[in-house]
Amino acid sequence: MSTKVFHYGQDHLTAGIALSIARGEMVGVLTDATKEAINVSSEIVAQIAAEPAAVYGINTGFGPLCTTKISAEETGKLQENLLKSHAVGMGEPIRPILTKLMMVLKVQALAKGHSGVRLSTIEKILWFLDNGITPVVPSQGSVGASGDLAPLSHLFLPLIGEGNVLSCDGTVMSTSLMAEYKKDYAPIKLGPKEGLGLINGTQFIAAHAVLVVEKMQNLLANADITGAMMIEGLLGSVKPFSPELHELRPFPGNRHVAASISNLLKDSEILHSHANCARVQDPYSLRCIPQVHGASRTAWLHLKELLEIELNSVTDNPVIFTKDHTISGGNFHGQPLAMALDYATLAAAEIGNISDRRSYLALTGDTPGVPKLLIKDAGTNSGFMIPQYTAAAIASENKSLCFPASADSIPTSLGQEDHVSMGSISGRKALQVVENVEKILGIELFSAAQAMDFHAPLKSSKILSAVYRVVREKIEHLTEDRFLQPDMEVAHALISTATLPATAKQAAEENQEPYATEWSAQFDNF
C-alpha cells in the first residue's frame, strides 16, 4: 500500500494531515512549481541584500536595531547570529511530536514562496524530518509575537551545527556529534534573511494547537459516552435529549450532543425500567449535557477553523512579493490563535467540571438500587469516595489555568514590540488542561460502570454494552476497598487512547444502530 503524499505549499494543510506527516504516516514533498516559487523568492532577497536600500531583516538589524544598516558581506553572519542570540529558551523540552509538527508547519509556510529562504535550506529541514532527528526545544521563552522566536531558534540551531538533537533511538546529543553517525549531515551557511525567515512565525503556538485539536476532539467524544453511561447508572431521563427541544435552541453543537446521547442510549433496558418514575427532572450535570458539552464543541470548532487558516498562511516578516514590493507587517503576531486557545482551555475545563459533578452525584445514594459511595458495605469500605477527591483536585487545578494568557502583554525589544500575544503560554496551558480532563473523565468512566452494575440483570443499550464490556475486561467491579490508583490509570488510558469512541462506532455498525449525527462530519473530523 503506497504512502499518501502531501505537497507542501500547494495542498491544503489540516491538523490531521500535519499529525500524519509528523508521525510518518504521510510524506511531505516539494513539487517543481513550489521549488520554482521558493527559488524566485530567495533570488529577490539576494538582490535586495546587494543593494543600498534598507529592507528590514535583510540588510538591517532586528527589533530596535532596525535602523542599523548591515553590509552585504555581513548578511550571512547576521542571520547565524540571530539564531544563536535568540535561542534563549528555558524549561523542560517540548515532546518530540510537537517539535516535528513545528518543522512540518514551518516548511508549509516557507513553501508559499514569500519568505526568501533558499530551497537547499528547506530541504535540510525535510532531511531532519525524514531521518527522525528531532531538535531539542525548551518549552519556555516565547511571548508569541515577532514569531515564536526562542523555540524556533532552538528548532533550527542544528541547521548550522549548533544546539542539541534527539535521535530516533531517544538519545540527546550535541548536534556537533551527529555527523559521526549521520554521514550525510553537514551544517549549512545561512544566506540573507534566512535566519529571520526561520524564526519569524507562529509554529510553536500552532503545533500546540494541532495537538489540542486532536486531543480535545477525542475528549469531547469520550465525554458524551461517559455522560451517557452515568445517565444509565443514575437512572436519568432521556427527555432532555429530545430533538424537538433542541430545535427551539438550534446550536449545532447542542443538537449534535443531544442526538449522540440519544443514539448511545437507544433501547436501553435500564432506562426503560423507570420510564414512569416519579422523578420530575434530573440535576443539571445530567440534564444539561447537550448545552455544556455542545458549547465546548463550538469552542473546539472555532479553534479548528482558525487553526486551518493559520496552517496555510505566511507568518513571516518581512513578506516578499517582488524586488520592489516587500512589506514589514505583523503576520507573526499570535493573537488569532492565542485567543482561540484560551477559549478552548475554558471549554475543556468545563467538560471536566461537569464530569466531576456527575461523579459526585453518583456517590450520594439517591438513585434506587445504587448504594452510597457506589459500594454495598459503605462504612467499613470507603468505596468511590476518594477518587472523586482526585477529580475535584484536578478540576480545581484546571480552573487556576483558565486565566487567558492572551489577556496579558509585556512590552519587549525596547518597546519596538510593545504588544505581544503570549500565545505560546495559551497553547501550553490548553494542552495541559485537555490532558487533565482526560483523567477526570477516566474517573467518571469507572464510576459510571460501577453504578451500572447495580441494575443487573437489566441490560444497557447495545452501544454502551460494548463500551461497558471493554471497561470490565480491564477493571473489576469493586466489592470491597482495594488499591484503586491502578484502576484509575487504566480508565485514563481508555479515555486518552480513543478506545471508547472506536468501540462505540464499531458496535453501532455491527448492530446497525445509529451513532453518527448529521453534524458528525463537522465535529468529528480535523
Range of the domain at 436: 208-317+326-524
Whole-number pLDDT of residue 1: 55
- By three-state DSSP, how is residue 28 classified? strand
Question: Does residue 463 share a domain with residue 388?
Answer: yes
Give the cell for residue 309. Answer: 487558516
Report d(CA 227, CA 284) in Å as an integer.
12
**How would residue 277 be classed by pLDDT, with cut points 50, 70 and 90?**
low
Indicate the pTM of the whole model: 0.96
**How would residue 261 be classed by pLDDT, with cut points 50, 70 and 90?**
very high
Three-state SS annotation for 242-268: CHHHHCCCCCHHHHHHHHHHHHHCCCC
Whole-number pLDDT of residue 178: 84
Whole-number pLDDT of residue 66: 65
Least confident segment among 121-135, 164-178, 380-394, 418-432: 164-178
Report d(CA 297, CA 355) in Å as an integer.
15
CATH for 195 = 1.10.275.10
Q: Which of 170, 201, 232 is the last residue of a domain?
A: 201
Residues 87-130: tens digit of each pLDDT? 999 999 999 999 999 999 999 999 999 999 999 999 999 999 99
Q: Which of 149, 179, 201 is the last residue of a domain?
A: 201
Question: Does residue 212 share a domain with residue 117?
Answer: no
DSSP state of 2: P
Total structural domains in the chain?
Answer: 2
Question: Does residue 223 share a domain with residue 197?
Answer: no
Q: Which residues are catalytic?
A: 56
Using an 8 Å Cβ cutoff, are 62 and 82 in contact? Answer: yes
- By three-state DSSP, how is residue 138 classified? strand
140: Cβ contacts below 8 Å, ≥ 6 apart: 89, 90, 91, 150
If you average pLDDT over residues 79-86, what whole number do you get? 93
Report d(CA 84, CA 420) in Å as an integer.
22
% of the chain exceeding 70 in pLDDT: 98
Whole-number pLDDT of residue 60: 75
Question: Does residue 217 share a domain with residue 194?
Answer: no
DSSP state of 3: P
Least confident segment among 49-53, 269-273, 425-429: 49-53
Report d(CA 240, CA 385) in Å as an integer.
28
Residues 13-26: tens digit of each pLDDT? 999 999 999 999 99
Residue 408 neighbours by CB distance under 10 Å: 13
Residue 43 neighbours by CB distance under 10 Å: 13
Using an 8 Å Cβ cutoff, are 523 and 253 in contact? Answer: yes
**What angle is formed at CA 199 by the lines to CA 211 and CA 337, rounded to 5 degrees?**
40
Question: Does residue 374 share a domain with residue 258?
Answer: yes
Question: Does residue 225 share a domain with residue 192?
Answer: no
Q: Given a cut of 70, is residue 149 above it in pLDDT?
A: yes
Question: Does residue 171 share a domain with residue 270?
Answer: no
Q: Which of 148, 176, 201 is the last residue of a domain?
A: 201
Residue 280 neighbours by CB distance under 10 Å: 6
Report d(CA 130, CA 120) in Å as an integer.
15
Whole-number pLDDT of residue 86: 95
Whole-number pLDDT of residue 430: 98
CATH for 265 = 1.20.200.10
Q: Given a cut of 80, is residue 439 above it in pLDDT?
A: yes
In order, the DSSP letters of 61-128 are -SGGGTTSB--GGGHHHHHHHHHHHH---EEEEPPHHHHHHHHHHHHHHHTTS-S---HHHHHHHHHH
Report d(CA 425, CA 418) in Å as an integer.
18
- In terms of C-beta density within 10 A (0-12 exposed, 13-18 middle, 19 or more buried), how is residue 486 classed? exposed
**How would residue 438 be classed by pLDDT, with cut points 50, 70 and 90?**
very high
Nearest to 313 by CA among 293, 329, 292, 294: 329
- Give how far Cα 106 sits from Cα of 121, 325, 487, Å: 12, 23, 41
If you average pLDDT over residues 328-342, what whole number do you get? 96
Report d(CA 247, CA 254) in Å as an integer.
10
Report d(CA 25, CA 4) in Å as an integer.
8
Return the higher-pLDDT residue of 70 and 199: 199
CA 303 to chain centre: 10
**How would residue 227 be classed by pLDDT, with cut points 50, 70 and 90?**
very high
Whole-number pLDDT of residue 64: 67
Whole-number pLDDT of residue 278: 63
Question: Does residue 217 share a domain with residue 191?
Answer: no
Report d(CA 350, CA 329) in Å as an integer.
37
Least confident segment among 151-160, 180-189, 194-203: 180-189
If you average pLDDT over residues 399-418, what whole number do you get? 90
Question: Does residue 121 share a domain with residue 224?
Answer: no
Mean pLDDT, the chain, integer: 94
Q: Given a cut of 60, is residue 48 above it in pLDDT?
A: yes
Q: Given a cut of 90, is residue 2 above it in pLDDT?
A: no
Give the cell for residue 2. Answer: 503506497
Question: Does residue 184 share a domain with residue 217?
Answer: no
Q: Given a cut of 90, is residue 180 above it in pLDDT?
A: no
Residues 453-495: tens digit of each pLDDT? 999 999 999 999 999 999 999 999 999 999 999 999 999 999 9
Question: Does residue 159 share a domain with residue 251?
Answer: no
Give the cell for residue 464. Answer: 454502551
Report d(CA 41, CA 183) in Å as an integer.
30
Question: Does residue 293 share a domain with residue 164?
Answer: no
